[in-house]
Structure 1
Amino acid sequence: MTLEETLNDLLVKLFKDILEIEAKSLITEEFKDISYNDMHIIEAVGIDEPRNMKTVAKLMSVTTGTLTKAMDALCEKGYVVRERSTRDKRVIKLRLTDKGKAAYYHHEQFHRQMIKNVADEMNDSEKEILVFALAKLVDYFKLTYYDTDEESEFVDWSKISRDK
Protein backbone atom coordinates (compact mmCIF):
# COMPACT_ATOMS: atom_id res chain seq x y z
CA MET A 1 0.00 0.00 0.00
CA THR A 2 1.36 3.45 -0.89
CA LEU A 3 1.78 6.22 1.66
CA GLU A 4 -1.15 8.09 0.09
CA GLU A 5 -3.40 5.02 0.29
CA THR A 6 -2.42 4.43 3.90
CA LEU A 7 -3.09 8.06 4.78
CA ASN A 8 -6.46 7.92 3.02
CA ASP A 9 -7.44 4.72 4.84
CA LEU A 10 -6.42 6.16 8.20
CA LEU A 11 -8.29 9.42 7.67
CA VAL A 12 -11.47 7.71 6.46
CA LYS A 13 -11.38 5.31 9.41
CA LEU A 14 -10.63 8.12 11.86
CA PHE A 15 -13.53 10.31 10.67
CA LYS A 16 -15.94 7.38 10.70
CA ASP A 17 -14.82 6.13 14.11
CA ILE A 18 -14.94 9.56 15.76
CA LEU A 19 -18.50 10.13 14.55
CA GLU A 20 -19.71 6.68 15.60
CA ILE A 21 -17.94 6.58 18.96
CA GLU A 22 -18.87 10.13 19.87
CA ALA A 23 -22.51 9.51 18.99
CA LYS A 24 -22.60 6.35 21.13
CA SER A 25 -20.79 8.03 24.02
CA LEU A 26 -22.90 11.20 24.09
CA ILE A 27 -26.38 9.78 23.98
CA THR A 28 -26.62 8.13 27.38
CA GLU A 29 -29.68 7.29 29.47
CA GLU A 30 -29.60 10.81 30.91
CA PHE A 31 -29.58 12.43 27.46
CA LYS A 32 -31.64 9.93 25.46
CA ASP A 33 -34.20 12.61 24.54
CA ILE A 34 -31.76 14.49 22.30
CA SER A 35 -29.70 13.62 19.26
CA TYR A 36 -26.01 13.72 18.49
CA ASN A 37 -26.67 16.86 16.42
CA ASP A 38 -28.52 18.44 19.37
CA MET A 39 -25.39 17.94 21.49
CA HIS A 40 -23.42 19.97 18.97
CA ILE A 41 -26.06 22.71 18.98
CA ILE A 42 -25.80 22.79 22.77
CA GLU A 43 -22.03 23.08 22.40
CA ALA A 44 -22.49 26.00 19.97
CA VAL A 45 -24.86 27.81 22.36
CA GLY A 46 -22.11 27.49 24.97
CA ILE A 47 -22.02 28.16 28.67
CA ASP A 48 -20.67 31.68 28.66
CA GLU A 49 -22.69 34.68 27.54
CA PRO A 50 -26.04 34.02 25.82
CA ARG A 51 -25.71 33.88 22.03
CA ASN A 52 -28.08 34.97 19.30
CA MET A 53 -29.46 32.59 16.68
CA LYS A 54 -27.28 34.02 13.91
CA THR A 55 -24.09 33.31 15.89
CA VAL A 56 -25.14 29.74 16.74
CA ALA A 57 -26.23 29.09 13.14
CA LYS A 58 -22.86 30.30 11.86
CA LEU A 59 -21.01 28.04 14.32
CA MET A 60 -23.13 25.11 13.12
CA SER A 61 -22.76 26.08 9.43
CA VAL A 62 -26.54 26.13 8.95
CA THR A 63 -29.14 28.80 8.24
CA THR A 64 -31.09 30.36 11.09
CA GLY A 65 -34.21 28.79 9.56
CA THR A 66 -32.70 25.32 9.83
CA LEU A 67 -31.57 26.00 13.40
CA THR A 68 -35.00 27.25 14.49
CA LYS A 69 -36.69 23.84 14.32
CA ALA A 70 -33.92 22.17 16.33
CA MET A 71 -33.94 25.06 18.81
CA ASP A 72 -37.72 24.74 19.26
CA ALA A 73 -37.23 21.09 20.28
CA LEU A 74 -34.32 21.87 22.62
CA CYS A 75 -36.35 24.61 24.32
CA GLU A 76 -39.36 22.29 24.65
CA LYS A 77 -37.17 19.59 26.23
CA GLY A 78 -35.70 22.08 28.71
CA TYR A 79 -32.11 22.33 27.45
CA VAL A 80 -32.21 25.89 26.13
CA VAL A 81 -34.22 29.03 26.85
CA ARG A 82 -34.82 32.00 24.59
CA GLU A 83 -34.49 35.46 26.13
CA ARG A 84 -35.09 38.87 24.62
CA SER A 85 -32.07 41.13 24.61
CA THR A 86 -32.32 43.98 27.10
CA ARG A 87 -30.50 46.25 24.63
CA ASP A 88 -32.60 45.44 21.55
CA LYS A 89 -35.97 43.77 22.08
CA ARG A 90 -35.90 42.40 18.51
CA VAL A 91 -32.89 40.21 19.32
CA ILE A 92 -33.46 36.79 20.87
CA LYS A 93 -30.60 35.34 22.90
CA LEU A 94 -30.13 31.63 23.61
CA ARG A 95 -28.97 30.38 26.98
CA LEU A 96 -28.46 26.87 28.33
CA THR A 97 -30.54 25.75 31.28
CA ASP A 98 -29.00 23.64 34.05
CA LYS A 99 -30.06 20.58 32.04
CA GLY A 100 -28.40 22.06 28.95
CA LYS A 101 -25.22 22.79 30.91
CA ALA A 102 -25.15 19.18 32.12
CA ALA A 103 -25.31 18.02 28.47
CA TYR A 104 -22.61 20.56 27.54
CA TYR A 105 -20.26 19.29 30.26
CA HIS A 106 -21.01 15.67 29.31
CA HIS A 107 -19.97 16.44 25.72
CA GLU A 108 -16.92 18.37 26.89
CA GLN A 109 -15.85 15.45 29.08
CA PHE A 110 -15.94 13.10 26.08
CA HIS A 111 -13.56 15.41 24.20
CA ARG A 112 -11.25 15.89 27.18
CA GLN A 113 -10.97 12.13 27.65
CA MET A 114 -10.32 11.56 23.96
CA ILE A 115 -7.52 14.16 23.91
CA LYS A 116 -6.04 12.89 27.17
CA ASN A 117 -5.93 9.31 25.88
CA VAL A 118 -4.21 10.39 22.66
CA ALA A 119 -1.83 12.88 24.28
CA ASP A 120 -0.76 10.55 27.07
CA GLU A 121 0.75 8.25 24.46
CA MET A 122 2.84 10.99 22.80
CA ASN A 123 5.90 13.02 23.64
CA ASP A 124 5.92 16.82 23.16
CA SER A 125 7.46 16.61 19.69
CA GLU A 126 4.82 14.14 18.51
CA LYS A 127 2.05 16.35 19.93
CA GLU A 128 3.39 19.36 18.00
CA ILE A 129 3.55 17.35 14.78
CA LEU A 130 -0.02 16.12 15.31
CA VAL A 131 -1.28 19.67 15.94
CA PHE A 132 0.51 20.89 12.84
CA ALA A 133 -0.92 18.07 10.69
CA LEU A 134 -4.46 18.48 12.02
CA ALA A 135 -4.32 22.27 11.55
CA LYS A 136 -3.36 21.69 7.90
CA LEU A 137 -6.35 19.35 7.53
CA VAL A 138 -8.69 21.94 9.06
CA ASP A 139 -7.29 24.57 6.73
CA TYR A 140 -7.75 22.31 3.71
CA PHE A 141 -11.41 21.68 4.51
CA LYS A 142 -12.07 25.36 5.13
CA LEU A 143 -10.41 26.34 1.86
CA THR A 144 -12.26 23.64 -0.04
CA TYR A 145 -15.72 23.63 1.49
CA TYR A 146 -16.43 26.92 3.24
CA ASP A 147 -17.33 30.36 1.94
CA THR A 148 -14.04 32.22 1.87
CA ASP A 149 -15.71 35.63 1.45
CA GLU A 150 -16.39 35.73 5.16
CA GLU A 151 -13.81 36.70 7.76
CA SER A 152 -11.01 34.16 7.65
CA GLU A 153 -10.49 31.75 10.51
CA PHE A 154 -7.55 30.08 8.80
CA VAL A 155 -4.53 28.98 10.74
CA ASP A 156 -1.56 31.35 10.74
CA TRP A 157 1.19 28.86 9.88
CA SER A 158 3.91 31.30 10.93
CA LYS A 159 2.71 30.94 14.55
CA ILE A 160 2.98 27.16 14.58
CA SER A 161 6.46 25.92 15.23
CA ARG A 162 7.53 22.42 14.36
CA ASP A 163 10.89 22.91 16.06
CA LYS A 164 11.61 23.17 19.76
Structure 2
Amino acid sequence: MNAYETINDILVHLFNEIWELEEKAIITEEFKDISNNDMHIIEAVGLGSDSTMSMVARKLGITAGSLTTSVNSLVNKKYLVRERSESDRRVVYVRLTEKGRKAFFHHKDYHMQMTDAVVKSLDADEIPVLLKTLNSLSEFFRGYETKK
Protein backbone atom coordinates (compact mmCIF):
# COMPACT_ATOMS: atom_id res chain seq x y z
CA MET A 1 0.00 0.00 0.00
CA ASN A 2 1.41 3.42 -0.90
CA ALA A 3 1.43 6.40 1.49
CA TYR A 4 -1.78 7.90 0.02
CA GLU A 5 -3.70 4.62 0.42
CA THR A 6 -2.32 4.15 3.93
CA ILE A 7 -3.39 7.65 5.01
CA ASN A 8 -6.86 7.09 3.52
CA ASP A 9 -7.17 3.74 5.29
CA ILE A 10 -6.09 5.22 8.62
CA LEU A 11 -8.50 8.16 8.35
CA VAL A 12 -11.48 6.01 7.38
CA HIS A 13 -10.92 3.56 10.21
CA LEU A 14 -9.78 6.10 12.78
CA PHE A 15 -13.08 7.98 12.90
CA ASN A 16 -15.07 4.80 13.45
CA GLU A 17 -12.62 3.52 16.04
CA ILE A 18 -12.62 6.79 17.98
CA TRP A 19 -16.43 6.83 18.09
CA GLU A 20 -16.71 3.19 19.20
CA LEU A 21 -13.86 3.30 21.70
CA GLU A 22 -14.98 6.61 23.14
CA GLU A 23 -18.40 5.15 23.84
CA LYS A 24 -16.86 2.12 25.57
CA ALA A 25 -14.50 4.32 27.59
CA ILE A 26 -16.92 7.01 28.73
CA ILE A 27 -20.15 5.10 29.14
CA THR A 28 -19.11 3.31 32.31
CA GLU A 29 -21.25 1.72 35.00
CA GLU A 30 -21.70 5.15 36.58
CA PHE A 31 -22.87 6.72 33.31
CA LYS A 32 -24.67 3.75 31.75
CA ASP A 33 -27.96 5.68 31.60
CA ILE A 34 -26.71 8.05 28.89
CA SER A 35 -25.38 7.73 25.35
CA ASN A 36 -22.28 9.04 23.65
CA ASN A 37 -24.48 11.72 22.05
CA ASP A 38 -25.76 12.70 25.51
CA MET A 39 -22.17 13.01 26.70
CA HIS A 40 -21.44 15.40 23.84
CA ILE A 41 -24.47 17.50 24.79
CA ILE A 42 -23.11 17.65 28.33
CA GLU A 43 -19.75 18.73 26.88
CA ALA A 44 -21.43 21.43 24.76
CA VAL A 45 -23.36 22.79 27.76
CA GLY A 46 -20.05 23.07 29.59
CA LEU A 47 -19.31 24.39 33.04
CA GLY A 48 -20.70 27.91 32.65
CA SER A 49 -24.13 29.04 33.71
CA ASP A 50 -25.01 31.04 30.60
CA SER A 51 -25.55 28.31 27.99
CA THR A 52 -28.83 28.73 26.20
CA MET A 53 -30.55 26.00 24.23
CA SER A 54 -29.79 27.98 21.06
CA MET A 55 -26.10 28.27 21.90
CA VAL A 56 -25.78 24.56 22.62
CA ALA A 57 -27.66 23.63 19.43
CA ARG A 58 -25.33 25.89 17.42
CA LYS A 59 -22.23 24.30 18.98
CA LEU A 60 -23.55 20.87 18.04
CA GLY A 61 -24.73 21.91 14.58
CA ILE A 62 -28.33 20.87 15.22
CA THR A 63 -31.65 22.67 15.62
CA ALA A 64 -32.92 23.72 19.03
CA GLY A 65 -35.92 21.45 18.39
CA SER A 66 -33.66 18.45 17.87
CA LEU A 67 -31.80 19.29 21.04
CA THR A 68 -34.98 19.54 23.12
CA THR A 69 -35.69 15.80 23.21
CA SER A 70 -32.18 14.96 24.41
CA VAL A 71 -32.19 17.78 26.94
CA ASN A 72 -35.55 16.59 28.31
CA SER A 73 -34.02 13.15 28.84
CA LEU A 74 -30.90 14.58 30.49
CA VAL A 75 -33.04 16.75 32.77
CA ASN A 76 -35.11 13.69 33.76
CA LYS A 77 -31.89 11.78 34.50
CA LYS A 78 -30.63 14.71 36.60
CA TYR A 79 -27.60 15.62 34.44
CA LEU A 80 -28.99 19.02 33.43
CA VAL A 81 -31.37 21.65 34.75
CA ARG A 82 -33.33 24.00 32.54
CA GLU A 83 -34.22 27.56 33.58
CA ARG A 84 -36.08 30.33 31.79
CA SER A 85 -34.53 33.78 31.67
CA GLU A 86 -36.11 36.27 34.06
CA SER A 87 -35.77 39.10 31.55
CA ASP A 88 -36.86 37.21 28.42
CA ARG A 89 -39.05 34.16 29.00
CA ARG A 90 -38.32 32.89 25.48
CA VAL A 91 -34.69 32.27 26.43
CA VAL A 92 -34.01 28.92 28.09
CA TYR A 93 -30.74 28.31 29.92
CA VAL A 94 -29.33 24.84 30.54
CA ARG A 95 -26.65 24.04 33.05
CA LEU A 96 -25.02 20.97 34.48
CA THR A 97 -26.04 19.50 37.81
CA GLU A 98 -23.40 17.95 40.07
CA LYS A 99 -24.05 14.63 38.31
CA GLY A 100 -23.64 16.39 34.95
CA ARG A 101 -20.38 17.97 36.10
CA LYS A 102 -19.04 14.52 37.03
CA ALA A 103 -19.93 13.24 33.57
CA PHE A 104 -18.34 16.34 31.98
CA PHE A 105 -15.03 15.77 33.79
CA HIS A 106 -15.12 12.04 33.06
CA HIS A 107 -15.47 12.79 29.34
CA LYS A 108 -12.82 15.51 29.48
CA ASP A 109 -10.41 13.08 31.15
CA TYR A 110 -10.89 10.57 28.32
CA HIS A 111 -10.07 13.28 25.77
CA MET A 112 -6.98 14.29 27.74
CA GLN A 113 -5.79 10.67 27.78
CA MET A 114 -6.37 10.39 24.03
CA THR A 115 -4.45 13.61 23.35
CA ASP A 116 -1.64 12.63 25.72
CA ALA A 117 -1.28 9.28 23.94
CA VAL A 118 -0.65 11.11 20.66
CA VAL A 119 1.53 13.93 21.96
CA LYS A 120 3.81 11.72 24.08
CA SER A 121 4.82 9.73 21.00
CA LEU A 122 6.04 12.85 19.17
CA ASP A 123 9.23 14.84 19.30
CA ALA A 124 8.88 18.59 19.86
CA ASP A 125 9.55 19.32 16.17
CA GLU A 126 6.82 16.88 15.07
CA ILE A 127 4.01 18.62 16.98
CA PRO A 128 3.76 21.57 14.55
CA VAL A 129 3.46 19.11 11.64
CA LEU A 130 0.64 17.26 13.41
CA LEU A 131 -1.11 20.58 14.18
CA LYS A 132 -0.85 21.64 10.54
CA THR A 133 -2.19 18.27 9.39
CA LEU A 134 -5.12 18.27 11.82
CA ASN A 135 -5.96 21.89 10.97
CA SER A 136 -6.04 21.00 7.27
CA LEU A 137 -8.36 18.10 7.98
CA SER A 138 -10.57 20.29 10.15
CA GLU A 139 -10.76 22.94 7.41
CA PHE A 140 -11.76 20.26 4.91
CA PHE A 141 -14.66 19.14 7.12
CA ARG A 142 -15.80 22.69 7.86
CA GLY A 143 -15.75 23.60 4.18
CA TYR A 144 -17.16 20.35 2.83
CA GLU A 145 -20.83 21.30 3.15
CA THR A 146 -20.28 24.61 1.37
CA LYS A 147 -18.67 22.84 -1.60
CA LYS A 148 -21.82 20.89 -2.44
- TM-score for the superposition, normalised by structure 1: 0.86
Match of 2:133 in 1: 133
Residue by residue over 1:18-53, the C-alpha shift from the partner in whole angstroms, topping out at 9 and shown as x without a partner, is 111101001000000000100000000000233111
* Pairwise CA distance, 1:79: 0.3
The letter for the 2-side match of 1:137 is L
Q: Which runs of 5+ in 2 are unaligned?
A: none
Where does residue 24 of structure 1 map in the other structure?
Answer: 24
Please identify runs of 4+ aligned residues in structure 1 that moved more than 6 A: none
Deviation at 1:146? 5.7
Identity of aligned residues (%): 46
Match of 2:73 in 1: 73
* Aligned partner of residue 81 in structure 1, secondary structure: strand
The aligned residue for residue 43 of structure 2 is: 43
Once the 2 structures are TM-superposed, how far is the Cα of residue 85 of structure 1 from its aligned partner? 1.6
Relative contact order: is structure 1 or structure 2 higher (C-alpha 8 Å, sep ≥ 6)? 2
- What are the ranges of 5 or more consecutive residues in structure 1 without an aligned counterpart? 148-164
Q: How far apart are residue 98 of structure 1 and its match?
A: 0.3
Aligned-partner Cα distance in 2 for 1:142–1:131: 16
- Classify the secondary structure of the residue corresponding to 1:51: coil
**How many pairs were matched up?**
147
> What TM-score results when the alignment is normalised by the length of structure 2?
0.95
1:55-70 matched pairs, under 5 angstroms: 55-70=55-70
CA deviation vs aligned residue, 1:63-122 (integer Å, no higher than 9, x gap)? 111100000000000000001223322211000000000000000000001111111111
Between 1:30-39 and 1:137-146, the stretch displaced more is: 137-146
Residue matched to 1:142: 142
